Structure 1
Amino acid sequence: MIAKTTIDQVYETARLEEVIGDFVQLKKSGSNFKGLSPFTDERSPSFMVSPVKQIWKDFSSGKGGNVVAFLMEHEHFTYPEAIKYLAKKYHIEVEETEQSNEQKEQASERESMYLVSEFARDHFSEMLLETELGKAIGLSYFKERGFTEETIKKFELGYCLDQWDGFTKAALDQGYKLDYLSKTGLTIVKEDANNPNNPRTFDRFKGRVMFPIHSLSGRVLGFGGRILTNDKKAAKYLNSPESDIYHKSKVLYGIYYAKQAIAKEDNCYLVEGYTDVIQFHQRGIHNVVSSSGTALTPEQIRLINRLTKNITVLFDGDAAGLRASLRGIDLILEQGMNVKICTFPEGEDPDSFAKNNELEEVQSYLQENSKDFIQFKASLLVQEASNDPIKRADTVRDIVNSISKIPDRIKKEIYVQECAQIMNISEAVLFNTLAQIGKKDIAEAKKQEKQEGKAFDVVRNEALQEKVDVQFELERKIIELLLVYGSKTEEFEDLVLKENEEGELVMEPESVQSTVYEKIFLDLQEDEIEFTNAQFKSIYYLLIEALSQTEDFAIQAFITGIEQEMANHISSILMEEERYSLDNWESKDIYPKSKEKGVAQLVSETILTLRCFLIKKRMLSLQNETQDMHEDNKEVLEEIMNYIQLNKLLNQKLNRVLS
């Protein structure tokens, strides 16, 4: 268990915008920050962060909460893991009691897999740095590559001894279960038909130097292992298999070490291998990641897209199948990103070039030789086409097809103009080709829409029939008022129902000083109004209790002590008004109304509106009753008339005209 003093210190110290800024590129938007959702695939930002309220809201997925909730949602941390991560980031010492074996066993399956992976990282590092075999084989290999001991420790590089089950035995001896060793792929388990209770086990990475693969937050997801012998039957590089914590297509090697530099430099260098990343980092260029030898995927591109819109792809000077590698460029363009390409001199790759040149030379080379994708692709394909007119036509079509992937119409036009100059072909022809590709895509989309047409019509009709739930909106507004102004003291004008000299009922104002939460609580109690939404009802009573017991009520502290689902609802309520800044209405000469009214007036109007709504609801109910009666019921009719008069008085106070 983590001590409460540690948890309190973490919440007091952690800055939401700093923590989220490690994972998402945030841009200032008024008093808030906005960025692309890290939970959905989107091109327009709908992710909002409020430094004042210390809460975030993702309007595309509906998720929201405080700093810990973000880490739990994004990194799949448990609550203690999120607290420990923040403590480490802000250099806070964690006080906790030792976990018992029973508590370890109760850890979730995913957490158990993380723990096994972290043990493996530490074990491989120990074998590399502290055993004779590790030093002689693994460490000497890394030093031959030019890696310093500081770099080796930073990237947590290691070595798996060339033994059949040396690592597996060490893990089992430390109490880690074979089931999780198998699920993470660290151990290969072979069932023995003759002895089913005692399966044979093998270390997957035996005799390999190890590269731990980290998540954005630095957790070990899996490993890459390089063999050091000339065994032609064995793969040179071997990666962990897919598991609950490691999905190759969604991970980039080095992203944990590069994320801050990528956001700061507003550019990401994309290379092919582990050593390319490490060598660049050691040389002083930190905004570099690798797809680890796999084909680039949309998920990996979106991971970069959260941090920057600019990617520079670095290719080896003599890279085999360079044209095949260019397919990844189209994927980057589809995501609306800007892409450049840089190749190294023949015989060089990013690793060797960074190793053999000083920082200034590497930076200068990258700056001078990074070409826009259209220039690079055109020059490469033109060389291949030579003087063959058919190949030349295919080349043009290939380039236009890439341009068609770009979502931005202005960029498309500029690239068409550039392509026309390079290929010495008229812009009109290129625009026609682009239009044909567009028509084909539209036709395919329409075909798919027809297939889904019936289902779509049902959804559309249901959407048209949807009506605003007035009581839901009013209850939501009351929760917002309690959260934002609950402890504030205001001068309220109470309305007292009195009879004037003519015997008519009138509302007479009386001034009273009260806190917002007391005013709301007493008014709702007086009218015996209950919340109809179960979630709002629970939040309401928790808020009233917290406000009555705490003098310095703070939203962040309140969110910390409640369930995640409730915290999600609260962040939605508080951040609803931020939708205005997402749409940037001011640029369209539309100015949303701000909360200029006094708090007292806002509270009074909300409660009065709720009263009017409930009175109207009651009148309708009574009218339905009278319709079902066979004879007139004077009592019911009198009640209806009283409600009509009361409703009229309340609406006059709200300056509303009743039809």
Structure 2
Amino acid sequence: MSLPANFDLKERVRAAVDIVDVIGQSLELRPKGRQFVALCPFHDDKKPSFTVNPARQTWKCWPCDKGGDVFSFIQQRDGVSFPEALRILAERAGIEMPSYGGKRTEPGSPDDKATLLAAMKFATQAFYDCLQNDQSAEAAAARKYLEDRQINDESRRRFQIGYAPNDFKWLLRKATAAGFKPEVIEAAGLALRKSDDRPPYDRFRGRVMFPICDLQDRPISAGGRILPSDDPQQSGGAKYINGPETLLFSKSNQLYGMNLARAAVSKSREVMVMEGYTDVIAARQFGIEPVVAVLGTALGEGHIRIIQRFADRVILVLDGDTAGKTRADEVLELFIRADVDLRVLTLPDGSDPADFLHQHGREAFEQLVAEAPDAIEHKLSTLLDGVDLLTDTHRATAALETMLGIVAKAPQQAGDLRIDQILLRLSRVFSTDKAALVGRLKQIRIEESKRRQYRNQAAARAKQAGKVPAAGKNPAAAKPPTAGRHGTPGRPSTPGRPSAPPSVAAFDPNQALLESSDPMHDDPMHAEQMPADLMPAAMHYEDFEAAPAAPRKPVWEAIEGIDRELFEILIEDPELAPMAIETFDIASLQTESARKIFAAYQELDLAGRALDVQSLLLTVEQEELRNMVVTMDERVQRRAGQLTVSPEQRYRDLQDRFQQRQWNVQRQRHQATLEAAAVSDDEATKLLQDLFEGEKVRKGLLNRPPAEPSKPPPSTPNAGDQAPTSSESA
């Protein structure tokens, strides 16, 4: 086993940043003795329970049992992995991360991320200064627009709102004078050119500017809103424009205001997603903090990945217009697949959140949020609007099929209670047998799998023949018409079509569901009609049963008893660590958490590194384990000077207790073997002799045999190790 290759890098980064400075940028720290305290951002803290230890470069919150070093704080704050936290802090410290096989970038070039960040910071400040201080008529008009939108001075400062004058070279002149190359301004998305042989010009002109920041509060792009009085032809056309995709910015992976909302979202585990910059700003002015907005694109999987770092529930706040209702339908499938609790709030009278808040106030808005239906209920109410379930057979069946089609797109996991609950709700709404819904859901998945295989094989055949289907064309479209349910050539029948007018025939949901699951129904890829050479392999319903569940995050058991005593002694006196590494068998530790930390000591010892807490925290990359190390370190610091027994004496006593535990385990194992009568007489005699000798050693009648040096376990990747199950630990 050896230390991770980036140990030296981690050590350099840790030495280059001060934990008080890093945490102080996010929290309001105040001194308390030799430490600093703050309200914890990770739970609803009423009095400061978050402590920062500058001497140890660690932090701890006892009420929510979180803690660690500066890397742990970035992981918790930003919801990122250890490697990403390392990268964030390395960039902060100006330490270049090694590039493995990648092209080395030159500082000051358009490919250098640090240069682009500096350019964005410069531009953001320039736009802000222009709005605040410029005495021109157009800057005054921009300030008037914000006043009309009731955006106050505090919001202008908090969101760094600025103004870009209606000048093709305004920013380029300022940036080049400050030392930035025009190519850098272009690479940052702040300038563009009509062709390669033409000079660049400012992208944003005559617009109120809204900087877009990452989770480290760094401007990475911007959005611009044209002033109402300006001519769209002179200022770039659209009312709102966002910066393009750049090395810094991807609109599918950024949410406006997330840097400001992160702490509130982490506490409440809930976030409201709105549609515009001004909606977020208005909500913040009314004291509503867990609010973000999408950036000129539909809510997508990238956004959900960000949200899931901090929240379990999402309230999608939509304008009360037709477009808003359409967007609610678009994201429903996405949230079912992502297993996120989605609520949909459609505002009344076609108003947007900013207008509603200014007209009705915070209390009325929060009441609507509290009453917002979940996404399934919202979708059902849309599908069944004006539908009489007892008589309107066709629309009722179509609505049920639509809902099952959405559910079918969710990942299949064993014992998925979420899907089970949705099916139960559908069975109640449509008065349908749940078992029939389960069967129909399987059928839909089978049909979709057949279609997918048919398309893939048809595309492969076309490619082999040199005829690749055009984008968006379905290879199945060329199939001849198939017979309908009742044998009418070329006219597939519609599922659940009533044989009499709705006013006559009552809706039988179970019969309609049975008819809609007819394998001949609207399925040109039905197995009986599919060409033999395109027939997929034999398929069974069992193939579409729940797929294996996704790997769960490892659960690290708490370190208790003499295992914890051992580590606290080693933390108090690191000079005892080499002796412990030679004396104790790693297998004698009770939990995988303890074994993992002990293995880190072994790694450090083999590499000739210091065996102190700081080195231990750099070696252990699992967030939970670093919290355990800091917790034990805090316990040691709190009782400093209170114990009358030296660490050496406590270590010797602990050694005897460990030896006793190992003998007890060995004795139980021998006794179990003897009781099972699974050994020969000679082997039984040897086991009894070993037990007898062990008892004599335990009672001091014989000298203790020398302990074999413990050997480190085989090398495994440090990050992302999986904790074993309890049975494996045992």
Q: What is the TM-score with the length of structure 2 in the denominator?
A: 0.54
Are the structure 2 counterparts of residues 572 and 300 from structure 1 closer, same or farther at C-alpha, using a change threshold of 3 Å? Answer: closer
CA distance in 2, matches of 1:400, 1:277: 35
Letter in 1 for 2:69: Q
Indicate the residue corresponding to 1:416 in structure 2. Answer: 423
CA contact (8 A) 1:156 1:212 kept: yes
Question: Structure 2 unaligned runs (5+)?
Answer: 1-11, 28-37, 45-49, 51-63, 96-105, 461-536, 538-563, 585-599, 629-650, 663-702, 711-730
CA deviation after TM superposition for structure 1 residue 129, in Å:
1.0
Q: Deviations over 1:398-438 (max 9, x none)?
A: 12233345567323233223223334544344333223234
- Which range is displaced more, 266-275 or 397-406? 397-406
Q: Which one has a larger percent strand, Structure 1 or Structure 2?
A: 1
Q: Residue 312 of structure 1 aligns to a residue in which SS?
A: strand
Residue aligning to 2:88: 77
Aligned equivalent of 1:632:
none
Report the Cα distance in structure 2 between the residues aligned to 1:162 and 1:596, rounded to whole angstroms.
Answer: 78
C-alpha distance in 1 between matches for 2:455 and 2:658 = 49
Establish whether residue 163 from structure 1 lines up as the match of residue 167 from structure 2: yes
Conserved? CA contact 1:378–1:419, under 8 Å: no
Alignment check: 8 A CA contact 1:185 1:204 kept:
yes
2:17–2:89 contact (8 Å) kept in structure 1:
no
Aligned to 1:598: 654
1:203 aligns with 2:264: no
Q: Counterpart in 1 of 2:356? A: 353
Query: Where does residue 595 of structure 2 map in the other structure?
Result: none
* CA separation of 1:241 and 1:24: change in aligned 2, threshold 3 A: farther
Q: 1:6-405 to 2 correspondence within 5 Å?
A: 10-11=18-19, 51=66, 54=69, 73-74=84-85, 76-77=87-88, 79=90, 81=92, 105=108, 109-133=112-136, 134-190=138-194, 193=197, 199-228=198-227, 229-231=230-232, 234-320=237-323, 322-368=325-371, 370-383=372-385, 389-405=393-409
- The AA in structure 2 aligned to 1:81 is R
2:79 and 2:265 mapped to 1: Cα distance?
A: 24
Give the distance between the partners of 2:244 and 2:294, measured in 1 at CA: 15
C-alpha distance 655-259 of structure 1, shift in aligned 2 (>3 A): closer
Q: 1:236 to 1:289 in 2, by over 3 A?
A: same
Tell me how far 1:288 sits from its aligned partner: 1.2
CA gap of 1:540–1:445, structure 2 versus 1, over 3 A, is farther
The SS at the match of 2:189 is: coil
1:538 to partner: Cα distance: 8.3
Q: Percentage identity across aligned positions?
A: 22
Answer whether contact 1:128 1:159 (CA < 8 A) is retained.
Answer: yes
CA 1:203–1:55 in 2, change beyond 3 Å: closer, same or farther?
Answer: closer
Alignment of 1:368-517 (within 5 A): 368=371, 370-383=372-385, 389-405=393-409, 409-440=416-447, 486=570, 515-517=576-578
The Cα offsets for residues 585-624 of structure 1, whole Å up to 9 and x where unpaired, read as xxxxxxxxxx999358879999xxxxxxxxxxxxxxxxxx
Work out the CA distance in 1 between the residues paired with 2:355 and 2:165: 27
Q: 1:540 aligns with which of 605, 608, 611?
A: 605
**SS of corresponding position for 1:286:** coil
Partner Cα distance (1:349, 1:68) in 2: 30
Q: 1:482–1:517: 8 Å Cα contact kept in structure 2? A: no
- Tell me the alpha carbon deviations over residues 495-522 of structure 1, each in whole angstroms, 9 at most, x when there is no partner: xxxxxxxxxxxxxxxxxxx833267689
Amino acid at match of 2:304: I
Task: Work out the CA distance in 1 between the residues paired with 2:171 and 2:288.
Answer: 34
Distance 2:352 2:624 in 1: 51
CA distance 1:482–1:52, shift in 2 (3 Å): farther
Deviations 1:184-215 (A, max 9, x none): 1101135575xxxxx52210011111111111
Q: Is the 8 A contact 2:129 2:162 kept in 1?
A: yes
Aligned-pair CA distance for 1:340: 1.1
Tell me, which stretches of 5 or more residues in structure 1 are unaligned? Answer: 28-32, 34-48, 85-102, 194-198, 454-479, 491-513, 524-534, 548-552, 561-566, 579-594, 607-648
For 1:655 and 1:168, the matched residues in 2 are separated by: 67
Q: Distance in 2 between matches of 1:67 and 1:235?
A: 33
Query: How far does the alpha carbon of each residue in 1:24-74 deviate from its partner, in whole angstroms, 9 at most, with x for none?
Result: 9799xxxxx9xxxxxxxxxxxxxxx9856538789xxxx999999968724
Taking structure 1 as the reference length, the TM-score comes to 0.59
Deviation at 1:536, TM superposition (A): 9.5
| In structure 2, C-alpha distance between the alignment counterparts of 1:157 and 1:235, rounded to whole Å | 19
1:508-544 deviation per Cα after TM superposition (whole angstroms, max 9, x unaligned): xxxxxx8332676899xxxxxxxxxxx9998436655
Pick the structure with more helix per residue: 1
User: By how many angstroms is 1:307 displaced?
Assistant: 0.9
Asked whether the 8 Å contact 2:318–2:324 carries over to 1, the reply is no
The verdict on how the C-alpha distance between 1:14 and 1:253 changes in structure 2, with shifts beyond 3 A counting, is: closer
Distance 2:139 2:291 in 1: 28
How many Å apart are 1:104 and its aligned residue? 6.9
Deviation at 1:248, TM superposition (A): 0.9
Name the aligned partner's letter for residue 19 of structure 2: Y
CA contact (8 A) 1:157 1:209 kept: yes
Which shifted more, 237-246 or 263-272?
Answer: 263-272
SS at match of 2:201: strand
Q: Distance in 2 between matches of 1:366 and 1:605?
A: 57
Q: Is the 8 A contact 2:68 2:626 kept in 1?
A: no
- 1:286–1:319 CA distance, 2 compared to 1 (3 A): farther
Q: For the residues of structure 1 that align with 2:217 and 2:659, how far apart are their CA atoms?
A: 46
Q: Do the aligned residues in 1 keep the contact of 2:258 with 2:292 (CA within 8 Å)? A: yes
SS at match of 1:339: strand
Distance 1:220 1:148 in 2: 21
Q: What CA RMSD, in Å, does the superposition of the two structures yield over aligned residues?
A: 5.2
Q: CA deviation at 1:275?
A: 1.3
Deviations 1:247-281 (A, max 9, x none): 11111111111111112222111111111111111
Distance 1:449 1:482 in 2: 60
User: Given that residues 213 and 220 in structure 1 are in contact (C-alpha distance below 8 angstroms), is that contact kept between their aligned partners in structure 2?
Assistant: yes
In the alignment, the residues of structure 2 paired with residue 343 and residue 266 of structure 1 have an alpha-carbon distance, to the nearest angstrom, of: 21
CA deviation vs aligned residue, 1:112-144 (integer Å, no higher than 9, x gap):
111111111101101111112354221111111
Instruction: Using the TM superposition, name which of 377-386 and 359-368 deviates more.
Output: 377-386
Contact preservation (8 Å) 2:185, 2:191: yes
Which amino acid is the alignment partner of residue 219 of structure 1? R
